């Protein structure tokens, strides 16, 4: 609340003494009880206004740990959408019209016990984030597409809401986590919080037992949900996200022919993407072993974005002593590689603030484009060496 200067208060006091004599005469004409009633009513109004400001957050801000910064800017990114094209894939929308619903992001585990997963192949965008101890986790984002089975659902991390701020106002589905992170996700104005560990949002999740899955997928690795159940938690949320990428079917000049890329997150996540000319897709492997979903289909995608980022050690242990999470800085700028159509485009990614959409440009300043279709987004710490094979 702004503080008035002494001079301002004196001016206001003088202005008060210049009220019209008619008002003063009317006030003086009231009885003592009536004058007291007017004063009490005025005080009630003032107290109500102050209480409203406090409840709306005017008196406090969410705590942010000192090692990193989280902006609470609430400006929605400028929407650049075509009502007939899916904003996250650039493909024709189902039925010819983009669904009136927000982006839906779900957290999925990727430690060996979480595999094979469900729902990644149906997502518009898949983010792979470093978690801790060399283990990665996924955040799968849906808008035009649906999936009847999404999981296994895992905990929330610092990276999640920072990535999602550029989506305007997105649903974030997860199950539990470090208490300060759950509190933060629940408080941010650009997140519809769908925590599967508390009610009533836990009603969208269930224990899924499938004989085809390995025995290791007991709790907590058998906690699943669906896109319909998650969107159903927020029936009044109807605003689609902005377009995140520039799309073009043409390979830009400056691209190099590449058929394989290796991203050695760790021994447990030694990711390899290989181009299949026959399928017109990038196929995913762990080393030489195909990465399969729960139905036995190899994960594949139209585009792979490899965003090199700086990282920081998180303040909390996630999986026992000395297991801090890795916080990836997706606001700023750095090197980016875009794989599409058997080619690699190298340039710079830039995101000045959290509410800005990340952009990709060549060294000459021209935009890097993606092919319409699904995108897997690899967020890679800049201390990892990414290897390309032509």
Q: What is the pLDDT of residues 177-207, one digit of tens each?
A: 999 999 999 999 999 999 999 999 999 999 9
Domain residue ranges of the chain, discontinuous segments joined by +: 94-389
Q: How many CB atoms lie within 10 A of CB 126?
A: 24
Q: Which of 110, 107, 116, 150 is nearest to 132 (CA)?
A: 110
Give the tokens for residue 331: 């606001």
CATH superfamily, with its number, for domain 94-389: YerB-like (3.50.90.10)
Q: What is the pLDDT of residues 314-363, one digit of tens each?
A: 998 877 777 788 999 999 999 999 999 999 999 999 999 999 999 999 99
What proportion of the chain, given as a percentage, has pLDDT over 70? 77
Nearest to 161 by CA among 146, 150, 143, 177: 177
Residue bearing tokens 């503080």:
3
Query: Closest Cα to residue 209, out of 140, 154, 156, 149?
Result: 149
For residue 278, CA distances in Å to 173, 275, 283, 300, 341 come to 36, 9, 11, 13, 11
Pick the closest to residue 282 from 251, 261, 252 (CA basis): 261
For the chain, how far is it from start to end, CA to CA, in angstroms?
Answer: 61
Strands 375-381 and 303-309: parallel
Model pLDDT for residues 274-315, shown as the tens digit of each residue: 999 999 999 999 999 999 999 999 999 999 999 999 999 999
Question: Is residue 29's pLDDT more than 70?
Answer: no
pTM attached to this predicted model: 0.79
What is the sign of the dihedral through the CA atoms of 13, 19, 24 and 30?
negative
């Amino acid at each position: 609340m702004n503080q008035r200067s002494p001079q301002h208060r004196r001016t206001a006091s003088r202005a008060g003494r210049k009220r019209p004599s008619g008002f003063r005469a009317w006030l003086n004409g009231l009885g003592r009880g009536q004058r007291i009633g007017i004063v009490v009513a005025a005080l009630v109004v003032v107290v109500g206004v102050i209480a409203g400001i406090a409840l709306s957050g005017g008196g406090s801000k969410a705590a942010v740990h000192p090692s990193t910064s989280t902006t609470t800017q609430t400006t929605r990114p400028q929407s650049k959408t075509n009502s007939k094209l899916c904003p996250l894939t650039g493909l024709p929308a189902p039925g010819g019209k983009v669904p009136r619903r927000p982006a839906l992001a779900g957290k999925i585990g990727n430690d060996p016990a979480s595999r094979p997963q469900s729902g990644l192949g149906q997502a518009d965008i898949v983010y792979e984030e470093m978690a801790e101890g060399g283990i990665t986790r996924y955040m799968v984002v849906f808008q035009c597409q649906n999936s009847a089975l999404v999981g296994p659902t895992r905990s929330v991390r610092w990276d999640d809401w920072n990535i999602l701020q550029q989506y305007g106002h997105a649903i974030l589905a997860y199950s539990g986590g470090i208490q300060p992170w759950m509190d933060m996700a629940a408080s941010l104005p650009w997140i519809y919080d769908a925590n599967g560990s508390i009610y009533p949002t836990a009603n969208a999740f269930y224990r899924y037992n499938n004989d085809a899955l390995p025995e290791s997928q007991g709790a907590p690795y058998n906690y699943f949900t669906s896109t319909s159940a998650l969107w159903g938690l927020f029936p009044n949320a109807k605003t689609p996200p902005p377009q995140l990428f520039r799309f073009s079917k043409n390979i830009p000049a400056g691209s190099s022919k590449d058929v394989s890329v290796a991203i050695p997150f760790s021994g447990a996540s030694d990711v390899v993407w290989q181009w299949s000319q026959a399928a017109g897709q990038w196929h995913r492997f762990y080393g030489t072993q195909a990465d399969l979903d729960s139905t036995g289909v190899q994960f594949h995608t139209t585009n792979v974005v490899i965003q090199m980022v700086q990282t920081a050690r998180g303040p909390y242990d996630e999986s026992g002593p000395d297991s801090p999470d890795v916080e990836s800085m997706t606001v700023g700028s750095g090197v980016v590689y875009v794989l599409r159509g058997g080619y690699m485009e190298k340039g710079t990614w830039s995101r000045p603030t959290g509410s800005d959409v990340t952009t990709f440009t060549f060294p000459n300043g021209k935009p890097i484009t993606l092919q319409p279709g699904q995108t897997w987004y690899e967020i890679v710490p800049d201390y990892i060496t990414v290897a390309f094979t032509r």
